[in-house]
């Protein structure tokens, strides 16, 4: 009783049919369940006894054969109570859901474990994606785990080497296209349509979203089966914010949580078509032709899942906001130095957005807020090194080290 359904015209497709866009209206698809049947399955299941992970929610996933599951033990990431950062911002209940703790260092692993498992179920021997970095790293790892071929197309310009190195070492065929991400995505779509043996695993694939929705499940379970008041998410191609909302609404329909949070999307100022649509109350986006931001993971001008993201924000009574590169880098440093959590620039946009929305009064001081940080800081070490204090070279002498640390000066002051 599970099927794929167009989010616009509601045309349905079989769960094992390889289709990326609705054949009638051209819109994207999502996975739909018969909730009565799902509720009965869950009632008879021991899923709550399993460790916190993506596959704890095996019964919620549109996968037939458990023996085909391709996993690297993803999910189960920490929900960190951030008291020091919260105190600095004047918030009583602030949490950071750190997705950098996943196997390849980003939230993409949640989607890829399900997406690659579905590819194996369907008999695919070759998977492909367009990527600004994290998607390629994750797909390459899971394809290697499954023993299937992987191709990734990356845009020209700077790609963080922490991510690119992962795709390369896992054996993916990496092609750098002279153009931006949106153009690279156009090419992989054409390749997947033309060559039926190639399975596309960008977030346009609804099975990716099924894995990523587990993030919403986990947040609620980690908060003792309660939803927070607000979840703040970095937005690039917009699959993650819509996936989290899908998971939350499913938990709500099944009776596992009583309330739903406000979904809040954050985009970089140089790449913010969804924020513009929200702020102008438009039901369509105007793509950004030349998106630019230091947060390369969200440097996407024409997000494929924009309609799902806008729906999630509206349905949850949430909002969206932009942050500058300066605000992103400042938030990255603050999170690392106050809470000990090192994230890449795109991840820090949720913290930057939080600061901005608290200051403007949009977020109340009593709200229980969860900021999702999507990728580990070592994904883009160059940026962290550039904005940090350089190492001091000192003589191999205890006195020189004490001078560099200001210890002699402190002793002199105390002696006065």
Output b/e per residue, 3-17; b: 16+ Cβ within 10 A: bbbbbeeeeebebee
Whether residue 165 is contained in a domain is answered as no
Statement to judge: residues 27 and 84 lie in one domain: no
Q: Structurally, how many domains does the chain consist of?
A: 2
Q: What is the largest CA-CA distance in the chain?
A: 83
Statement to judge: residues 277 and 368 lie in one domain: yes
Statement to judge: residues 19 and 85 lie in one domain: no
| pTM (2 d.p.) | 0.93
Statement to judge: residues 1 and 94 lie in one domain: no
Whether residue 158 is contained in a domain is answered as no
Domain that holds residue 25: 1-32
Q: Give the CATH number of the domain where residue 381 resides.
A: 3.40.50.1100
Whether residue 414 is contained in a domain is answered as no
- Burial of 331 per CB tally in 10 Å (0-12, 13-18, 19+): buried
- Burial of 396 per CB tally in 10 Å (0-12, 13-18, 19+): exposed
**Stretch (H or E) spanning 250:** helix 239-253
Whether residue 144 is contained in a domain is answered as no
Q: Which pLDDT tens digits describe the chain residue by residue (416 residues)?
A: 799 999 999 999 999 999 999 999 999 999 999 999 999 999 999 999 999 999 999 999 999 988 999 999 999 999 999 999 999 999 999 999 999 999 999 999 999 999 999 999 999 999 999 988 899 999 999 999 999 999 999 888 767 778 889 999 999 999 998 888 889 999 999 999 999 999 999 989 999 999 999 999 999 999 999 999 999 999 998 999 999 999 999 999 999 999 999 999 999 999 999 999 999 999 999 999 889 999 988 988 999 899 999 999 999 999 999 999 999 999 999 999 999 999 999 999 999 999 999 999 999 999 999 999 999 999 988 888 888 889 889 899 999 998 989 887 665 555 55
Whether residue 350 is contained in a domain is answered as yes
Whether residue 5 is contained in a domain is answered as yes
Do the bridges between strand 173-177 and strand 198-200 make them parallel or antiparallel, or are there none, so unpaired? unpaired
Name 29's bridge partners. 6
Closest CA to 19 of 243, 199, 212: 199
Whether residue 407 is contained in a domain is answered as no
Whether residue 46 is contained in a domain is answered as no
Statement to judge: residues 221 and 276 lie in one domain: yes
Statement to judge: residues 214 and 302 lie in one domain: yes
């Amino acid at each position: 009783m599970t099927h794929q359904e167009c989010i616009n015209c509601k045309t349905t497709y079989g769960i094992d049919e390889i289709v990326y866009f609705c054949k009638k209206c051209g819109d994207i698809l999502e996975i739909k369940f018969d909730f009565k049947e799902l509720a009965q399955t869950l009632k008879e299941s021991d899923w709550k006894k399993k460790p916190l992970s993506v596959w704890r929610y095996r019964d919620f996933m549109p996968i037939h054969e458990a023996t085909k599951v391709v996993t690297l033990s993803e999910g189960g990431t920490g929900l960190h109570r951030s008291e020091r950062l919260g105190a600095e911002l004047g918030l009583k209940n602030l949490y950071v859901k750190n997705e950098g703790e996943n196997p390849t260092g980003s939230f993409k692993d949640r989607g890829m474990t399900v997406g690659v498992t579905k590819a194996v179920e369907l008999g695919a021997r070759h998977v492909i994606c367009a990527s600004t970095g994290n998607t390629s790293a994750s797909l390459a790892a899971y394809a290697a785990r499954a023993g299937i071929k992987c191709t990734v197309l990356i845009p020209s310009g700077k790609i963080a080497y922490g991510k690119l190195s992962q795709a390369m070492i896992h054996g993916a065929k990496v092609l750098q296209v002279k153009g931006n991400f949106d153009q690279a995505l156009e090419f992989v779509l054409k390749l997947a349509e033309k060559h039926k043996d190639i399975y596309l695993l960008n977030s346009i694939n609804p099975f990716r979203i099924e894995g990523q929705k587990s993030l919403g499940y986990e947040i609620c379970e980690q908060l003792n089966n309660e939803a927070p008041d607000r979840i703040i998410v970095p937005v690039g191609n917009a699959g993650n914010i819509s996936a989290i909302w899908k998971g939350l609404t499913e938990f709500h329909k099944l009776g596992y949580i009583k309330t739903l949070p406000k979904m809040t999307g954050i985009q970089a100022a140089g790449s913010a078509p969804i924020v513009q649509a929200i702020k102008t109350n438009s039901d369509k986006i105007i793509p950004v032709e030349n998106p630019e931001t230091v947060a390369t993971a969200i440097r996407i001008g024409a997000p494929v899942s924009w309609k799902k993201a806008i729906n999630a924000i509206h349905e949850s009574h949430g909002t969206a906001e932009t942050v500058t590169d300066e605000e992103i880098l400042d938030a990255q440093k603050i999170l690392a130095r106050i809470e000990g959590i090192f994230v890449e620039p795109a991840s820090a946009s949720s913290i930057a957005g939080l600061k901005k929305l608290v200051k403007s009064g949009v977020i109340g001081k009593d709200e229980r807020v969860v900021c999702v940080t999507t990728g580990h800081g070592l994904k883009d070490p160059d940026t962290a090194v550039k904005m940090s204090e350089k190492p001091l070279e000192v003589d191999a002498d205890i006195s020189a080290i004490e001078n560099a640390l200001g210890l002699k000066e402190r002793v002199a002051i105390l002696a006065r």
